[in-house]
Structure 1
Amino acid sequence: MPKGGAVQKLIMARLIARSLPFLLLHLFLGGRVSGTINNVGWWKDTVFYQIYPRSFMDADGDGIGDLKGITSKLEHFVDAGIGAIWLSPIYASPMVDFGYDISNFREIDPTFGTISDFEALTARAKQLGLKVILDFVPNHSADDHEWFAKSVNRESPYEDYYVWQNGSVREDGTLLPPNNWISVFSGPAWTYNEQRGQWYFHQFAKQQPDLNYRSTGVQEEMKNVLRFWLAKGVDGFRVDAVPHLVEVSDLTDEPISDDVTGINPNDYPYLNHIYTKDQPLTYEIMQSWRTLLDEYADQANSDEKILMTEAYTNLTSTLKYYDVGSHIPFNFKFIMEISSDSTPADFKNTVDSWVNNMPENAVANWVMGNHDRSRTATRFPNRADQMTMLAMILPGVAVTYNGEEIGMTDTWVSWENTQDPQACNTDPTRYEAHTRDPNRSPFQWDTTTSAGFSKNSNTWLPVNPNYITLNLATQKSAATSHYKVYQKLTKLRQSPVLRYGTHDVKDLAGNALSVSRTLEENGKTQRVVLLINFRNAQTTVDLISSQIVGDSETVKFYTTSIGYPVVAEVEIQDKTNVVLPARASIVVTSESGAAQITASIVLAILPLIFKYIVT
């Protein structure tokens, strides 16, 4: 054997030999061996939770939620089984549209706290294993943004940062806008600026002038905004109002919608928005942002950074965002196309239309509610658990809106107390059809002052009076509750069958819906099955004849909607006659094959093993 210096030489030779491939790779890549995107796909079966910061938790007692409040409640997400939180806008803003009108894209609004507060939030989130997603609002700024002031003054290079156009003048001297385009918030989408002597375009409120993405300067400015927040440790962005980014440059009038019965000519649905939405350049810009995020993650050697996109548009236009880099183009079909009157066939078609049309290897997502639409528990009375179960059992990403985990409902807000500009731009007779305030009311933590949201009894929006009985603390201590159903579902999502299993959706004779997830490996079949009764009366499901489970499978209750008279983990004895009370839903698990066979073999040979040991 080699001795002394010979041993050291041998060890060194082996180290060099082992290192040589990596040294060559380092030279080949120009020294960027460390550059790699880690944890790719972490988001694919994650539960994302949308926080509406104004309404989540108020730490300083001013009646408005803030960052310190969110930080103080981060353990709630761990307890609930949530993997990522997404914050609605927290940037500096005059709050005309409560944060969606941004005066500085790199500052935190004092209402919510400071940059230090945000850094503390992200640091604590990382300690708890939570990802943090920021809302990115690229379509417009506030009209008090520095860029807009300089654009009004025609200062270079800001002159074309916004969409400016000349209008026309009537014989009587009345100024007319460039065309007939209507704002999402009702009324003309153009406002005249006296100082510049031109009209500026705004898809939303007049205080939210649209940025001009035909300007390379604007494109680079917004990329720098993304880089700034990535450096602060965020894990991705939810991109707001994506379809509105670009409009045609020739200002063609938009046609009137096919059916305008009962629609006010000043309201957004009156026109068919074929020239102010879904333009080709929009998709190119999205692709550039995805490239930026990938390059950042690669250079920083960090976990994958993701893009989530909000697009209220048709299915074809929405699915295109997959092709240009959106990891999660929000699926709003259960919000926009499904109601409490929808049938099992409608639900099945909604699921199939998304899954069957998305690109190969894309990941589905299911959004049941958000800050722009009536709460799930209000849209589906006494069926909140059903919708949560559906989002959790279907394959892909589940998105939970602030309060859905406890079944919060809409809060009525009077015209006098209305805050939402979308409603304030109408009148007392029409505001309720436009307001988003009812689904933005403060989170209901417990039975103390303002539902535990704030020590202040005067909150920015009224707390729902039902907080006395509907709140997190009560549900955590109850034997059964919406929250405990939610926890069981998020736990189940960690199982291999929900992470990797196939799916099958069945309309059961128009009475019920089944969603099955199946994983077959090593001779073993595992299933998770969701059954939803759509009737206002009891119905029964034959799991065997419906080909939902096999005859040899052991089927057990896993969790049920509130009020279902069965304890979880109980085995279903008669699989041909599973009873579902009116509007009830249940999740069952089943197993067959190798696991059962193995158990039988073990039981059979135990006596032989015992005999062998004894003898």
Structure 2
Amino acid sequence: MASLWKTVGIGIGALLVVGLVVGSMTWAILASRSPIIEAPVTEIKPLDWWEHAIIYQIYPRSFQDSDGDGIGDLKGITSRMEHFVETGVDAIWMSPIFESPMIDFGYDISNFYEIHHEYGTMADFEELVAKAHELGIKVLLDYVPNHASTESLYFKNSEARVPGYEDYFVWADPRPNPLNQSDRLVPSNWISQFGGSVWEWSEVRQQFYLHQFAVEQADFNFRHQAVKDEMINIMTFWIKEKGVDGFRVDAIPHLFEAKPDENGIYPDEPLSGNMFLNPDQPGYTTQIHVRDLIELYDVVYEWRDFVDRLKEEMGSNTKILLAEAYANITMTMLYYGNERDREGAHFPFNFDFITSLSASSNARDFAFMINRWLTYMPYGRIANWVFGNHDNNRMPSRFRENMVDGLNALNLMLPGVAVTYQGEEIGMRDGYVSWNDTVDVAACNQGNPDNYLQFSRDPARTPFHWDGTVSAGFSTNTSTWLPVAQDFREINLLSQKIAFRSHYKVYQDLTSLRRESRALSHGLYLIRALSEFTLVLVRHLPTFDTYALVFNVGSVNDTVDLSRVELFAEPLTVVTSSIHATRGRRDTISLDETVTLLPGEALVIRAPPT
């Protein structure tokens, strides 16, 4: 076994302690020339509902329209609830459904206690939760504590200096101009995520307010206790009164910004040195004063304490907090907790497959990024894997279309939680949205007819493809809020259900295997590059079958020798494979032969227990 551990970067004589508790069994593996001694398996440790879950992200405007207005809604989601059961999903997470002017399509909330009227009523939401829970599906909401709409009562009261609301948002006086005292300079050079200054002048209050996103999304002041208290009140309402199972918490890195000095002057950001950006574009300056400030973690830890207490008070299932945390690896891991006495989010989203890997990445890049997260993750925490979302180009459009099944297999076979963005189960690609049809505030603020697609998130948000009928079965209306992608007759759920082989059927094979295999839920893992292009992921647990993914992430054929994977024992049997693979279910592979994989080809194989 020594050669195996050398390949994963563990030197001879190094000590590796793997904390897998199976009943009373603890594994200690010494990476030396001594054999590995494995205690017999006596009992499988139960997992909490979320620790091995598949979480499915729904973009409500684009999932299912029930009333023919061209906009998805809650009744539409409820009508499709059986899809999650058939697909093998454990929980749904809905992008914001709260009342909103829809400048940023729900991420600008005007009332945190009401359902947006285009999506339905509170009764519709209650029906959705009841149907989901009846079918064993957990319900997560997208919660946006960083900011509120300027149409919210919070902002209007604060702008008018209503007692108790004066400090609800970040307000600042103009920066003095020594050359012209009447000149009204912005308080700092900070740049919004959507372009332009983060500061907007209020004629009513005669001060600037901070908005790290759109002008209509004013940032709450988290140094004001009343704001922190209100955030807890909102979460309490949706958990205790409406029965939700947790929250995906949006834009957490932006909760705090640098304080002004004793003269009320905010510090300017240093320039990034990126000569390809103009002074109004995000990235022109660094963001050391507007994100990832250490204060934010204490707020996250307080929220975790709150949901844990609420669980005990209610005698309910675990209520989870998932943090949207685009940050460096060290700052990201702090969201899990401080590793001493404070628990944090149940996990911060792992965006490495979005931010660090692409169609040009090789197998070593994949292995490195996966192992990096698992190496940095604090002991005893749960990993997660995200391959796409509403803010980024869809998975097949960022990688390659022939990689869909391999990427889904990787997501569903890695240890921890798998997150699927709607449409990934059928391999949906970005839709084409013209400049005239563009509605995304990020594209409208920063783009023009020649370059808007580099900013637009609309192509990843086009309606779901249910079938090949009018508007892809999403709506009875031929006009939808975003145009349906032109390939909906080629790629849709119904056709993939009927087809002999399809992305959807591969996805179902994978979710079935995930439910049944103890190696996937409780096993150890080996991740390495067999060659420049072929990645292998092995999941193994004593006395249980071993399962592995062999995946050519390259754009050329690749031939590999599976006998180099010491955890394999014959016979090797294909459980499922990508739709263009040369091998199918129940085919066998001999360790005496080399295996040639087509570009993007993926094989999921079973081997006897090691």
Give the structure-1-normalised TM-score: 0.88
What's the Cα RMSD here?
1.3
Q: Give runs of aligned pairs for residues 6-405 of structure 1, distance below 5 A.
A: 41-170=48-177, 171=180, 173-231=182-240, 232-250=242-260, 251-257=266-272, 259-323=273-337, 324-381=343-400, 382-405=402-425
For the 8 Å contact 1:554–1:592, the answer to whether it is kept is no
CA distance in 1, matches of 2:297, 2:567: 41
Q: In the alignment, which residue of structure 1 is the partner of 2:447? A: 427
CA distance in 1, matches of 2:309, 2:72: 34
User: Quick check: 53-62 or 316-325, which moved more?
Assistant: 316-325
Q: 1:511 to 1:168 in 2, by over 3 A?
A: closer
Deviation at 1:575, TM superposition (A): 4.8
User: Quick check: 537-546 or 356-365, which moved more?
Assistant: 537-546
Secondary structure of 2:430's aligned partner: coil
Q: In the alignment, which residue of structure 2 is the partner of 1:503? A: 525
Deviation at 1:525, TM superposition (A): 5.0
CA distance in 2, matches of 1:243, 1:519: 38
Secondary structure of 1:466's aligned partner: coil
- Which residue type is aligned with residue 549 of structure 1? F
For the 8 Å contact 2:367–2:528, the answer to whether it is kept is yes
For the 8 Å contact 2:248–2:324, the answer to whether it is kept is yes
Instruction: Give CA deviations for 1:376-399 in whole Å, capped at 9, x if unaligned.
Output: 011112211121111111111000
- Which residue type is aligned with residue 190 of structure 1? W
Q: Which has the larger radius of gyration?
A: 1
- Which residue type is aligned with residue 425 of structure 1? N
- Which residue type is aligned with residue 239 of structure 1? V
For the 8 Å contact 1:185–1:421, the answer to whether it is kept is yes
Q: In the alignment, which residue of structure 2 is the partner of 1:23? A: none
For the 8 Å contact 2:562–2:591, the answer to whether it is kept is no
Deviation at 1:569, TM superposition (A): 1.6
Give the structure-2-normalised TM-score: 0.88
For the 8 Å contact 1:40–1:303, the answer to whether it is kept is no
Instruction: Give CA deviations for 1:348-392 in whole Å, capped at 9, x if unaligned.
Output: 110111000100001110000000000001111221112111111
- Which residue type is aligned with residue 364 of structure 2? A
Deviation at 1:174, TM superposition (A): 3.4
For the 8 Å contact 2:88–2:511, the answer to whether it is kept is yes
Secondary structure of 2:350's aligned partner: coil
**Given the alignment of the two structures, is residue 486 of structure 1 paired with residue 501 of structure 2, yes or no?**
no
For the 8 Å contact 1:97–1:421, the answer to whether it is kept is yes
For the 8 Å contact 1:40–1:304, the answer to whether it is kept is no
CA distance in 2, matches of 1:575, 1:178: 70
Deviation at 1:227, TM superposition (A): 0.2
For the 8 Å contact 1:545–1:576, the answer to whether it is kept is no
CA distance in 2, matches of 1:540, 1:154: 70
Secondary structure of 2:545's aligned partner: strand
| Larger helix percent | 1
For the 8 Å contact 2:95–2:141, the answer to whether it is kept is yes
- For structure 2, the residue ranges without an aligned partner over 5 or more in a row are 1-45, 261-265, 338-342
CA distance in 2, matches of 1:297, 1:560: 41
Q: In the alignment, which residue of structure 2 is the partner of 1:437? A: 458
Instruction: Give CA deviations for 1:83-107 in whole Å, capped at 9, x if unaligned.
Output: 0000000000000000000110000
Deviation at 1:430, TM superposition (A): 3.0
**Given the alignment of the two structures, is residue 408 of structure 1 paired with residue 428 of structure 2, yes or no?**
yes
CA distance in 2, matches of 1:438, 1:515: 31
Instruction: Give CA deviations for 1:407-446 in whole Å, capped at 9, x if unaligned.
Output: 0000111111110000100231332111000000000000
For the 8 Å contact 2:519–2:544, the answer to whether it is kept is no
Instruction: Give CA deviations for 1:522-546 in whole Å, capped at 9, x if unaligned.
Output: xx35211111113333222211134
Deviation at 1:565, TM superposition (A): 2.4
For the 8 Å contact 1:541–1:576, the answer to whether it is kept is no
- Which residue type is aligned with residue 457 of structure 1? T
- Which residue type is aligned with residue 240 of structure 1? D
- Which residue type is aligned with residue 293 of structure 1? V
Q: How many residues align?
A: 549
- Which residue type is aligned with residue 443 of structure 2? A
User: Quick check: 167-176 or 273-282, which moved more?
Assistant: 167-176
CA distance in 2, matches of 1:278, 1:582: 39
CA distance in 1, matches of 2:165, 2:51: 40
CA distance in 2, matches of 1:87, 1:545: 43
Q: In the alignment, which residue of structure 2 is the partner of 1:570? A: 587
Secondary structure of 1:544's aligned partner: helix
Q: In the alignment, which residue of structure 1 is the partner of 2:484? A: 463
- For structure 1, the residue ranges without an aligned partner over 5 or more in a row are 1-38, 594-615
- Which residue type is aligned with residue 336 of structure 2? Y
